[in-house]
Chain A
Amino acid sequence: MSLLNVERIKLFSTRSPYWCLLLVVVFGLGLSAILSLVEGGANAGVSTSQAGINFAISVIMVMAALAITTEYRFGTIRNSFLAVPKRGKVLAAKTAVVAVIALVVTLITSFAAYYLMVAIHGPDAPANAMDINNADEWRYIWGPAVIVMVAAVIAVSVGSLIRQSAGAIAALLIWPTLESLFPLFGSFGRRVAPWLPFNAGSKFYTAGFSDGQGPPALDGRYPSPNWWQGGLVFVGTAAVLYVVALILLKKRDA
Chain B
Amino acid sequence: MIEAVGLTKIYGKTVAVDELSFTVNPGIVTGFLGPNGAGKSTTMRMILGLDTPSRGRALIDGVPYASIPRPLTKIGSLLDANWIHPNRTAKAHLRWMAASNGIPVKRVTEVLDTVGLSAVADKAAGKYSLGMKQRLGIAGALLGDPEILLFDEPVNGLDPEGIHWIRSFMKQLAANGKTVLVSSHLLSEMSLTADHLVVIGRGRLISNSSTADFIANSTTASVRVRSPQLPQLREILVGAGLAVTDVPDGLSITAAPIEQIGELAGNAGITLHELSGQAGSLEDAFIKLTGDSVEYNAHDGLGPVSPTEFTSAQDASPTAGAAPAPYRGN
- A-side residues, CB < 8 A to B, are 2-3, 5-6, 9-10, 13-15, 69-76, 78-86, 164-166, 251, 253-254
Q: Is the CB of B51 within 8 A of A76?
A: no
Q: Does B209 contact A (CB under 8 A)?
A: no
Complexed CA–CA distance, A164 and B330 (Å): 6
From known contacts A75-B80, A79-B97, infer whether A85 and B71 are also in contact, taking CB-CB under 8 Å. Answer: yes
From known contacts A15-B87, A253-B50, infer whether A79 and B140 are also in contact, taking CB-CB under 8 Å. Answer: yes
Which of A6, A72, A85, A166 sits near B96, CB closer than 8 Å?
A6
Q: Does B77 contact A (CB under 8 A)?
A: yes
Q: Does B88 contact A (CB under 8 A)?
A: yes
Q: Is the CB of B82 within 8 A of A75?
A: yes
Q: List 18 A-B contacts (CB under 8 A).
A: A9-B92, A9-B95, A9-B96, A10-B96, A13-B92, A14-B85, A14-B88, A74-B83, A74-B86, A78-B50, A79-B84, A82-B48, A82-B49, A82-B50, A85-B67, A85-B71, A86-B66, A165-B330
CB contacts under 8 Å to A, within B66-82, are 66-68, 71-72, 77, 79-80, 82
Q: Is the CB of A75 within 8 A of B71?
A: no
Q: Is the CB of B97 within 8 A of A83?
A: yes
Q: Does B100 contact A (CB under 8 A)?
A: yes
For B51, the chain A residues whose CB sits under 8 A away are 253-254
For B85, the chain A residues whose CB sits under 8 A away are 10, 13-14, 70-71, 74, 76
For A3, the chain B residues whose CB sits under 8 A away are 100
Complexed CA–CA distance, A15 and B89 (Å): 11
Task: With CB as the reference atom, state the residue of chain B lying closest to A69.
Answer: B330
B272 to chain A, nearest CB (A): 58
Task: With CB as the reference atom, state the residue of chain A lying closest to B126.
Answer: A74
Q: Which 8 pairs from chain A and chain B are nearest by CB? A: A13-B92, A75-B83, A85-B66, A83-B100, A253-B51, A9-B96, A254-B50, A6-B100
Q: Is the CB of A85 within 8 A of B65?
A: yes
Main DSSP-derived SS at the B contact region: loop
Q: Is the CB of B65 within 8 A of A2?
A: no
For A166, the chain B residues whose CB sits under 8 A away are 330
Q: Is the CB of A253 within 8 A of B84?
A: no
Task: With CB as the reference atom, state the residue of chain B lying closest to A254.
Answer: B50
Complexed CA–CA distance, A76 and B88 (Å): 11
For A75, the chain B residues whose CB sits under 8 A away are 80, 82-84, 328
Which of A2, A76, A81, A85 sits near B99, CB closer than 8 Å?
A2
For A9, the chain B residues whose CB sits under 8 A away are 92, 95-96, 99
B274 to chain A, nearest CB (A): 53
Which of A14, A72, A165 sits near B87, CB closer than 8 Å?
A14
Complexed CA–CA distance, A79 and B125 (Å): 15
Q: Does B123 contact A (CB under 8 A)?
A: no
Complexed CA–CA distance, A69 and B77 (Å): 23
For A80, the chain B residues whose CB sits under 8 A away are 100
Q: Does B177 contact A (CB under 8 A)?
A: no
Q: Is the CB of A253 within 8 A of B45?
A: yes
Which of B72, B87, B93, B99 sits near A82, CB closer than 8 Å?
B72
Task: With CB as the reference atom, state the residue of chain A lying closest to B48.
Answer: A82
Complexed CA–CA distance, A70 and B328 (Å): 12
Q: Is the CB of A2 within 8 A of B102?
A: yes
Q: Does B52 contact A (CB under 8 A)?
A: yes
Which of B68, B80, B102, B330 sits near A85, CB closer than 8 Å?
B68
Complexed CA–CA distance, A94 and B106 (Å): 25
Which of B52, B67, B72, B84 sits near A74, CB closer than 8 Å?
B84
A139 to chain B, nearest CB (A): 37
Q: Which of B52, B66, B79, B97 has the most CB of A within 10 A?
A: B97
Q: Is the CB of B100 within 8 A of A76?
A: no
Q: Is the CB of A74 within 8 A of B99?
A: no
Q: Is the CB of B84 within 8 A of A85?
A: no
Task: With CB as the reference atom, state the residue of chain B lying closest to A14.
Answer: B87
Complexed CA–CA distance, A38 and B153 (Å): 64
Q: Is the CB of B52 within 8 A of A253?
A: yes
Q: Is the CB of B89 within 8 A of A13?
A: yes
Q: Is the CB of A81 within 8 A of B50?
A: yes
Q: Is the CB of A78 within 8 A of B79?
A: yes
Q: Does B101 contact A (CB under 8 A)?
A: yes
